[in-house]
């Protein structure tokens, strides 16, 4: 099947515990992971996507059926002994993440898949290596990387912690179109705190995107740095917002080759996602109009 955009990552089963506004709520075996959240945007797009992943024999059949019915998106999966599973402990302003199980590496399976115009590489925990990145650079015109899974390690309790290896990460992403970091990841990578110092400390050979949560994001273009503000929204669950963001950016980039519009378009989709407390397709809206409004907030960092 010919597609415009490949999405590479593990599908995930999440257990979540919310400690917000004085309440405690638990959710078990919720479908998650970058391929899952990316899939929520394809029904409202004009391009076609392919989600490439590995799932275990324990992966619920209803989730396989969900993927098989998504408009404009094809689901390619290989079977593993286990499905990747996480435990999320979500508080008002922060969260902890624990790895419970890990599916098999994706490198060998991915490189048998046809290329496309765009490719998103967004590991959740070490499921791909430089082999997949090299394949993506050879088989695609636009490559986006979310560094989250490349920067993660585990402590003694299997809690996710950040690793510090900027030289490896810089080498891994040198030929990609853009690289996305959370603010925490970018601070860890650069060992800096101010926005301008962070952006100056990140590699300059491609576009760097740093998400700021409710504040919006920072991005680089032609060695200059900019900030875009996020639209005001009621946030019910931030999980997956970054996956929707980068998927949205690439989906518009392969259509338009317009970086700023593509970033704002991804932000518009992400702002819709945070209002949802479960994985579901995004509502049909004029996201280009929302993106144009977001672009009105563009400010250069000096």
List CB contacts of 29: < 8 A, sequence separation 6 or more. 13, 14, 15, 60
Residue 274 scores a pLDDT above 80: yes
Quickly count: other Cβ atoms within 10 Å of residue 283's Cβ: 10
Mean pLDDT computed over 19-31:
84
The per-residue pLDDT for range 100-155, each reduced to its tens digit, is: 999 999 999 999 999 999 999 999 999 999 999 999 999 999 999 999 999 999 99
Domain boundaries, the chain: 5-300
Q: Mind listing the pLDDT tens digit for each residue in 41-91?
A: 999 999 999 999 999 999 999 999 999 999 999 999 999 999 999 999 988
Q: At what angle do helices 287-295 and 259-273 cross, to 10 degrees?
A: 110
Pairing of strands 84-91, 95-101: antiparallel
> In this predicted model, what pLDDT tens digit does every residue of 84-98 receive, in sequence order?
999 999 888 788 999
Structure tokens at 167: 């030289």
With cut-offs at 50, 70 and 90, classify the pLDDT of residue 258: very high
Integer Cα distance of 209 and 278 in angstroms: 26
Q: Taking the model in full, what pTM does it have?
A: 0.94
Domain 5-300 maps to which CATH number in 3.40.1190.20, 2.30.42.10, 3.90.850.10, 3.40.50.180?
3.40.1190.20
């Amino acid at each position: 099947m010919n597609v415009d955009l490949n999405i590479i990552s593990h599908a995930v089963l999440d257990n979540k515990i919310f400690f917000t506004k004085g309440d405690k709520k638990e959710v078990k075996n919720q479908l998650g992971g970058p391929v899952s959240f990316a899939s929520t945007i394809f029904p409202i797009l004009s391009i076609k996507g392919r989600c490439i992943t590995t799932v275990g024999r324990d992966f619920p059949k209803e989730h396989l059926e969900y993927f098989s019915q998504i408009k404009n998106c094809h689901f390619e999966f290989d079977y593993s002994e286990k499905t990747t599973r996480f435990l999320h402990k979500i508080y008002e302003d922060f969260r902890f993440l624990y790895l419970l199980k890990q599916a098999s590496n994706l490198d060998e399976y991915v490189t048998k898949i046809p290329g496309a115009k765009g490719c998103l590489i967004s590991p959740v925990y070490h499921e791909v290596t430089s082999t997949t990145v090299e394949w993506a650079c050879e088989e695609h015109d636009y490559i986006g990387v979310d560094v989250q899974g490349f920067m993660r390690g585990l402590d003694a309790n299997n809690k996710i912690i950040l690793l510090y290896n900027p030289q490896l990460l810089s080498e891994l992403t040198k030929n990609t179109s853009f690289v996305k970091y959370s603010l925490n990841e970018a601070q860890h990578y650069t060992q800096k705190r101010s926005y301008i110092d962070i952006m100056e400390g990140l590699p300059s050979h491609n576009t760097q995107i740093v998400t700021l949560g409710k504040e919006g994001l920072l991005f680089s273009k032609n060695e200059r740095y900019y900030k875009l503000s996020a639209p005001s929204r009621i946030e019910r669950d931030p999980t997956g917002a970054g996956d929707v963001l980068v998927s949205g950016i690439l989906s518009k980039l392969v259509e338009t080759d317009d970086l700023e519009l593509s970033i704002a378009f991804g932000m518009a989709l992400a702002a819709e996602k945070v209002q949802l407390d479960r994985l579901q397709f995004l509502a049909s809206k004029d996201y280009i109009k929302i993106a144009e409004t977001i672009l009105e907030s563009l400010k250069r960092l000096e």
